[in-house]
Amino acid sequence: MEGQLTRQSETNWRTYRTLIIVAVFVFLVPVWARFIPGDVLHMDIVNIMVLAGVYACAVIGLNLLVGYGGQISLGHAAFFGVGAYTTAILCTRLHWFPSWLGIIAGAALAGVVGWLVGKPVLRLKGNYLAMATLGLGEIAFILFQQVKGLTGGTVGILDIPPLSVFGLKFDTDFKLFFVVWALVMVLMLLSINLVYSRVGRALRALHSSEVAADAMGVNTSRYKVQVFVLSAVFAGLGGALFAHFQKYINPESFTLALSILFITMVVVGGMGNIWGGLVGVVILTFLPSVIQALPQWIPGLPSGLSNFSNYELVLYGLLLIGFMIFLPKGVAYGLARAGGFTEMRARHLRDRIKARKIESH
Amino acid sequence: MSTNDSRQVRLLWGSVAVVAAIVVATLIDKGSIGLQLILSGLTVGSIYALVAMGFSVIYSTTRVINFAQGGFSMLGGMLMYTFSVQAHLPPWLGLILAVAIVTAFGAGFERAAINPLKDKSVITIIIITIGLSIFMTAVAKWIWGTDPVKIAAFTGEKPLRFLGASLVPQSLWVFGFTLLAVVLVFAFFNRTLLGKGMRAAADNPDAASLVGVSSSTSSLVAWTLAAGLGAAAGVVIAPINFAQYSAGTTLGLKGFSAAVLGGLGSAPGAVVGGLVLGVLETITASYLPSGYKDAVAFLILILVLLVRPQGLLGKPESVKV
Amino acid sequence: MAPDTILEIKEVTRLFGGLAALKDVSFTVERGKIKAMIGPNGAGKTTMFDVLTGILRPTSGDVFLKGESVVGRRPDQITERGMIRTFQTVRLFEGMTALENVMVGCHCRMESGFVSNSLRLPSARREEALLREEAMAALKDVGLHTRANEIGTNLPYGQQRLLELARALASKPDILLLDEPAAGLNQYETGELSSLLLDFRGKGLTILIVEHDMGLVMQMSDEIVVLDYGEVIASGTPEVVQNDPRVIEAYLGIEA
């Protein structure tokens, strides 16, 4: 039974099927969000979903790097920022510059930066790699602040035009929601394909034992850099979308806190699980809103706690610690086990029915 | 000696020479202002050194990077404010209470969240200490609000004059405490059985437990020590730095870079790293726009990790194949 | 170098600080032969494997694989060139099935990368099917094909060893370096291992094996080279080596 739970499907079909179910579920959010009790506007949910979507781009890539490749990055907000600033600068300085091209440019430039820093830094391992990526992320933040001529300094860049593709303008949250999540589904599809392939196995092998992977013919240093670049590209894509969503950006959007948020989403969601990134993104993007809305749903909560921006962060820190203690493998793993148990029971039931049928003959 | 070793030695002396050259150049260029800069750099550097020591203590015994180390110092300072200013308790009592509370908290956290998870991956532990950092910052914001709080200096505010530069008396307290701390920590890890056992436990847990030091004990003592040291540092620093809920993160990051520069796991290294970082930072701020000052810490961090991960005074970690 | 020599080790020395783990070691391995490298613990045998496979660089000396010097090459490059090793302790990949483990063994024989795999281009799909076939064949060769879908590290120890062997064989090497493959195996398993290895030799595989099980070594090897304190102290056929007084002295106390 353990084998059933833990083996990756040999064909991709089971996972594709789940992807379709997830996609349907997500795209129907504007519909079923209306049924959430309390004073919650369903359009607010759509707005939060757009943010979750752009974060998801970064987190899906990061999950490949951390969960599958076994590396660490505490500086991924930098790539998110590179993507955002690239498209913002291009679209505001050159008024003719199409935003869809800006997004591609943002993702590409993030990838280039990822390659340049990845090559030297990925020689480091574990804690050292964590520290180095943290340092790089901070340097990027300082550059965003200081290179005022390009980035607008602490003020940032305003009036970023909305996303438009071939004349179609995505200027409302609602329209952006569909575009962003369609892209997220595409990125998920690419990830699924990658994970169930030679590349995915190479990554998992190098995560498990770099020495053995090398000995088996996997060029581990090249793979580490490649998956790092991939995660940088995905993050840059998310950042560029973010710029066209918020319509203004400043360095405060790309701090260490965001890098930490990304990595937390990966870990809480479930490393090494293909859905880990998405699960983590959704949980942690909605968590603050859920905490804020709690007093509405639990009438007994004392109003002293309603000083939101304080206790919400306290709870956040506690929850982070709690997740690591009680669900170290992540939520997705917990869900998979639950799903696995249900599937196991269903199969047992089927087997018992079959056995009885045979007996009665 | 292999070529790599001699390269390392050259690097070491090379960097010492570079730092010395920068300091001398600044003194020549700026005269007595230069001396002022160096002195403030040393003061700020001592602050970094104290935080760096906390990192070193935990890292050298458990290989854990405690992202909340700066938070211990922040809480120490804030609690000192509560006890000595708000509650009007005598400073020595305030100090003891502040340190005791933070130390107990650190030890408790180690038992509740660090020890049970010692076999988990590096990234899990990193997230836990990050969670602690977030928690501590949020609690501080909740209890004390966002404004910085003022604590009286131990022996007054009147600046002392020294060769054309001035120094507040509290700086001397910081220097003195740093010196005391490094002596105590060094003595503990190199002269006591418990301390030596703890260092051994990081590399060879079985041998260490034979001497009666399990990795569990080691971890608890390390965290207790780091929390206490951090809190005491926070109290001594607070009159200069203005205690504030957000101080933990900045202190943490800078202290962290200082620890890596000096050598994670070396108490004297922490001091050297902190002082060098403080001085270089202050000098940079006088020549470049102030925003770039913070980049110094991170550039040094990355440089050290890429070129000589064990830092100036640390020992290279054996890589298990 | 003779055309039938697959591996030539020429005056390889490896120093660690002042200590010589290997000192002027030279020997060759001929195609289709099983050569055993034996010696007391600490003689430098695993260090030699590390040097041969690129994990360590020799302080001096050279290693020729099929006539080409491989010193300075990365381990994965050496595997690509036809020399692969197993490890003293089992290093299966965690969380991966037996089949997946072996498929990693085939890794160097294919080429598809990030782009073709993320898009599932036909070339990638074809390679994947081929990989699966070859991996299954390797599993069959060691008799593990019935357990293809089980997590590798869940298998009993003896079968884990076989799985490691299958994984190495999947790369279709010219020469296989085995580091104590019989360690921890019972007599039955050791016998199975022995017949498997003789089988592979029959199919043209060259094997360099480090082993402490003298029965296995004497029974299987065509030639033996004996190391002690990093130096070659004897080499030749099993009969010659068995009777060499220096070998007996080095092994005093160990059963032959």
Residue of B nearest to A153 (CA): B291
For A102-111, the pLDDT digits (tens) are: 999 999 999 9
Q: Is A214 on the interface with C (CB under 8 A)?
A: yes
Q: Which domains does chain B have, with CATH numbers?
A: 3-307 (1.10.3470.10)
**Is pLDDT above 50 for A47?**
yes
The overall average pLDDT reported for chain B is: 87
Contacts of A197 in chain C (CB under 8 A): 112, 117-118, 120, 124, 128
Residues B175, B181, B182, B184, Cα dihedral to 10°: 140
**Of the listed ranges A211-220, A257-266, A327-336, the one predicted with least confidence:** A327-336
Which value does ipTM take for this structure? 0.89
**pLDDT confidence bin for A281, thresholds 50/70/90:** very high
Mean pLDDT of B109-126: 87
For A241-272, the pLDDT digits (tens) are: 999 999 999 999 999 989 999 998 998 898 87
B to C CB pairs, distance under 8 Å: 3
* Domain assignment present for A271: no
**Is pLDDT above 50 for A163?**
yes
Residue of A nearest to B116 (CA): A325
For C33-52, the pLDDT digits (tens) are: 999 999 888 788 989 999 99
**Is pLDDT above 50 for B320?**
no
* Domain assignment present for A128: yes
Contacts of A205 in chain C (CB under 8 A): 93, 96, 104, 107
Q: Nearest Cβ partner of A216 from C54, C55, C167?
A: C167
Residues of B with CB under 8 A from a CB of C: 2, 321
For C134-166, the pLDDT digits (tens) are: 999 999 999 898 988 899 999 999 999 999 999
Mean pLDDT of C167-172: 92
Q: Is A210 on the interface with C (CB under 8 A)?
A: no
CB C223 within 8 A of CB C217: no
Asked if the Cβ–Cβ distance from A318 to B131 is below 8 Å, we say yes
Which of A314, A319, A323 to mutate to test binding with chain B, by most B CBs within 10 Å of its CB? Answer: A314
CATH code, A156: 1.10.3470
| CB-count burial class (<10 Å; 0-12, 13-18, 19+) for C20 | middle
CA angle at residue C248 from C247 to C250, to 5 degrees? 65
Q: How far is A180 from chain B (nearest CA, A)?
A: 28
**Is pLDDT above 90 for A200?**
yes
For B221-253, the pLDDT digits (tens) are: 999 999 999 999 999 988 887 788 888 888 899
Contacts of C190 (CB under 8 A, 6+ apart): C182, C213, C215, C216
Q: Please give the full DSSP string across C13-25, using - where no structure is assigned.
A: EEEETTEEEEEEE
d(CA A249, CA A235): 16
| CB-count burial class (<10 Å; 0-12, 13-18, 19+) for B76 | buried
* Domain assignment present for A245: yes
Query: Cβ–Cβ contacts within 10 Å for residue B261, how many?
Result: 31
Contacts of B216 (CB under 8 A, 6+ apart): B115, B118
CB B65 within 8 A of CB A131: yes
CA atoms within 13 A on the CB side of B72: 34
**pLDDT confidence bin for C205, thresholds 50/70/90:** very high
* Domain assignment present for A122: yes
Which has the higher per-residue pLDDT, B192 or A359?
B192
Structural domain for A211, as ranges: 8-255
Asked if the Cβ–Cβ distance from C87 to A217 is below 8 Å, we say no
d(CA B232, CA B52): 13
CB B83 within 8 A of CB B89: yes
Q: What is the pLDDT of residue A8?
A: 39
The overall average pLDDT reported for chain A is: 86
For C92-115, the pLDDT digits (tens) are: 999 899 999 999 998 888 888 898
**Is pLDDT above 70 for A352?**
yes
Contacts of A74 in chain B (CB under 8 A): 126
Single-letter residue type at B160 = L
Q: How far is B248 from chain A (nearest CA, A)?
A: 14
CA dihedral over C145, C151, C152, C155, signed as positive or negative: negative
Q: Is C165 on the interface with A (CB under 8 A)?
A: no
Q: What is the pLDDT of residue C75?
A: 93
Report the interhelical angle of B247-262 vs B122-144 (nearest 10°): 140
Q: What is the pLDDT of residue A299?
A: 66
* Domain assignment present for A284: no
Q: What pTM, to 2 d.p., does this model score?
A: 0.90
d(CA A142, CA A139): 5
For A68-83, the pLDDT digits (tens) are: 999 999 999 999 999 9
SS3 content of chain C, % helix, strand, coil (to 5): 40, 25, 35
The DSSP call for residue B110 is: I
CA angle at residue A131 from B215 to B68, to 5 degrees? 60
Q: What is the pLDDT of residue C4?
A: 83
In degrees and rounded to multiples of 5, residue A157 shows phi and psi of: -120, 130
Residue ranges of alpha helices (H) inside chain A are 2-6, 13-27, 29-32, 42-63, 77-93, 99-121, 126-146, 148-151, 173-195, 198-208, 210-215, 220-246, 256-269, 276-297, 308-326, 331-359
A to B CB pairs, distance under 8 Å: 128
d(CA B53, CA B270): 5
- The domain tally of chain A equals 1
* Domain assignment present for A109: yes
Asked if the Cβ–Cβ distance from C94 to A3 is below 8 Å, we say no
